[in-house]
Chains A and B, each alone.
Chain A
Amino acid sequence: MALLQIAEPGQSAAPHQHRLAAGIDLGTTNSLVATVRSTQAETLPDMEGRHILPSVVRYSSDNVEVGEAARLAAPSDPLNTISSAKRLIGRAIGDLKSIGDELPYEFISADSAVPRIRTVAGDVTPIEVSAEILKVLGQRAVDSLGGELSGVVITVPAYFDDAQRQATKDAARLAGLHVFRLLNEPTAAAVAYGLDRGADGVHAIYDLGGGTFDVSILRLNKGVFEVMATGGDSSLGGDDFDDAVAAWLLEQAGLSADVDRGTLRHVLDRARAAKEALAGSETVEVEIDLPQGGSWHGSLSREQLDSLIDLLIRKTINTCRRVLRDAGVSADEIEDVVMVGGSTRNLRVREKVAELFGREPLVDIDPDRVVAIGAAIQADVLAGNKPGDEMLLLDVNPLSLGVETMGGLTEKIIPRNTTIPVARAQEFTTFKDGQSAMAIHVVQGERELVADCRSLARFELRGIPPMVAGAARIRVTFAVDADGLLQVEAREQTSGVSASVEVKPSYGLTDDEVMDMLQASIDHAQGDMVARRLVEETVEARRVIEALTAALATDGDELLSTEERKVVDDALGNLAAIADQSKDPKIVEAAIKQLEKDCEFYVERRMNSGIRKAMAGHRVDEFASQEDPEAK
């Protein structure tokens, strides 16, 4: 006999028509799966009653272990136990250089761009590792719901780029799961609290996990969510609190900071226990076994804990301020503040967040589970179990998207923090006469020069009909879908020839790099502006030289005497030299003006000659209104 769930009034599904769906929080350290049963969203436990599945996969020659068992085996079998697949997914070997050193795995640089990790069970990709985790969670949902899933919603960090999102989808496909959509983690948290059903307003999601911090500003407008801005710090979390407490304990116990690893581990464990105990009392007793034998006793007060972690909390508060500024709202405009991540159980964190936003944050839903719960609610809607409910969640692209223009400048087409899905188009033209092809270089980043941005894709538009420089109209359209995947199309407007590329490169960016790129754009703003002007002037100089050289080739000999020709050639050479060498846009600009002045007589003569040619064969009275002595 089938087990039934209670439906909302009038919404009982017909037999065999239940549309089962689940939400999956695929985390760096831990993962969860949740579903909506009898209209309640709840996370699902395994047979042992554990809700949290450590995101760890261990490969042995004949078996794959996922979760707690794999996590426990990690110290004894580090090479075959993969525990940070989320940090690797959607990245190229080159991108891993920065984090690869910290990871104990053996990376193989195969010919493909996807990094592979050598294990006893063969080489595996981060996508395959994530798929193992998703398989376990998917199966848990199937077992718990008693039927096949029609689809899942998987959450990803708001800063995940196209490649990382696509790789996450690939992992789900490999796990045999149909992805309704990917959902940004902060958006899922807001949905869990039902903020989407409340009045229109702006909300903040403060997510402080073990190792990462993220803050997002969401706007609810007519029942539609929109992520206005996000920011964070990928190396700040509860682990840093533990480190700060541990350092203090070491000092109090008279131990130096470079004790052996076993003792450090022990002190860290005591530090974490003391920190957690202080959520419920004013002081805790701490006992540390000393390496030289014996033990140290002491106590840690909440006041002392607060003073140890205040600096770290202040960093998160400063990030909140910056993101508020990005979103263009003030702290008192925030309606609700949602707390996500285990470290938001810390009372000092809640206090400081409440202080910044001037209101008590929402903490009722378990901060470790709130993202999975929101994903489950969204999955339930997308499965069609809530007819009439049109919940549409909008997200933002974390970095600007644009194309390279002449001289290596970035032309931003979709600025950062634009809500997606979005499509924007811009027209470009040719640089040379008769140019028949155009290279489109898609870049991501905030800097003015392409060299400082990240290259996403390159493609060519061919078959542009021959025209003079500047006459062709090439429309470049950028479209980002709801999952953050980018499609770029270039179309020549008169002939209709087009070319396009879908960007799902097999490599991505670390959130660190995203932050670095944002920071660099701020740090280099002034220099970038000068660099941009210089390139613009240099490109203009080249265009002038190009045009003048083409003119000389057609009628230079005919219109200029040898001396005159030398003047023009000298002016040309002078500008070319300045354009090549000068680092000051003003000098280049002045040189262009100088050339225009020096060659004015030649330009005039060309115009007259052109007019004469145009009038040849016509009677003067046909040009009655034009007074031109040379033409008579």
Chain B
Amino acid sequence: MAITLTEAAASRVRNFLESRGQGVGVRLGVKTSGCSGLAYVLEFVDELEDDDEVFENRGVKVIIDRKSLAYLDGTELDYGKEGLNEGFKFNNPNVKDECGCGESFKV
């Protein structure tokens, strides 16, 4: 079981955490909503929850709750640009189907 980050993603997260001035790491997760069933969660973490797993990768703590881990195991978090737009991408091997916009998915 593991979650990884690309160097591009790791360096952005490190920068954001530094300028935010607080936070132990970044939370990846899924929640049930969206047009195709499940949606990704990407948040800063100030305090760990009881059922959190922590993966440390490239100097960044990735926090994920056990329930979400089932849907995200093997995911690589990437950071990329599409034209002027830039942001984080989930490369999730568990995805069978996603909605056209890619904001939600099915496993």
Contact = CB atoms under 8 A, between A and B. Distances in A.
Contacts of B104: 15
A3 B88 CA distance: 5
A551 to B, nearest CB: 80
B80 to A, nearest CB: 7
Contact of B19 (A8, A14, A40, A144): A40
Interface string B79-107: 01011111111100000001101111000
B90 A1 contact: yes
A8 B43 contact: yes
B24 to A, nearest CB: 11
A15 B41 CA distance: 10
B30 to A, nearest CB: 10
Given A4-B88, A15-B104, A143-B85, A9 B27 contact: yes
Interface in A132-148: 140, 143-146
Contact of A16 (B26, B86, B101): B101
B46 A9 contact: yes
Contacts of B19: 40
- Chain B interface: which size bin? 35 or more
- Which secondary structure dominates chain A's binding surface? loop
A39 interface: yes
B42 A4 contact: yes
Contacts of B6: none
Contacts of A4: 40, 42, 87-90
Contacts of A45: 84
A5 B41 CA distance: 9
A5 B85 CA distance: 11
Contacts of B35: 15-16
Contacts of B42: 4-7, 12
A610 to B, nearest CB: 82
Nearest to A45: B84
A432 interface: no
Interface in A454-512: none
A19 to B, nearest CB: 14
Contacts of B85: 3, 143-146
Contact of A40 (B20, B27, B90, B101): B20
- Chain A CB count within 10 A is highest, among B27, B88, B90, B103, for B103
A144 B86 contact: yes
B16 interface: yes
A3 B103 contact: no
A15 B33 CA distance: 7
Interface residues of A, number: 28
Contacts of B45: 9
B59 interface: no
B31 interface: yes
B87 A16 contact: no
Contacts of B34: 14-16
B80 A6 contact: no
A2 B84 CA distance: 13
B102 A2 contact: yes
- Chain B CB count within 10 A is highest, among A3, A5, A10, A46, for A3
A3 B82 contact: yes
B13 interface: yes
A214 to B, nearest CB: 28
Interface string A6-26: 111111101110000000000
B39 interface: yes
Given A7-B44, A15-B39, A39-B16, A146 B87 contact: yes
B62 to A, nearest CB: 12
B43 A11 contact: yes
- Chain A CB count within 10 A is highest, among B33, B44, B87, B88, for B87
A480 B45 CA distance: 43
A9 B103 contact: no
Nearest to A38: B16
Nearest to B85: A146
A146 B82 contact: yes
B59 to A, nearest CB: 16
Contacts of B102: 1-2
A598 B41 CA distance: 91
A321 interface: no
A47 interface: yes
A322 interface: no
Contacts of B41: 7, 12
13 contacts: A4-B87, A5-B88, A7-B42, A7-B43, A9-B27, A9-B45, A14-B39, A15-B104, A16-B101, A38-B12, A143-B83, A144-B86, A146-B87
Interface of A: 1-12, 14-16, 37-40, 44-47, 140, 143-146
Interface of B: 12-13, 16, 19-20, 26-27, 31, 33-35, 39-47, 80, 82-90, 98-99, 101-104
Given A45-B84, A47-B84, 8 more contacts: A3-B80, A4-B40, A5-B42, A5-B87, A11-B43, A38-B16, A39-B20, A143-B83
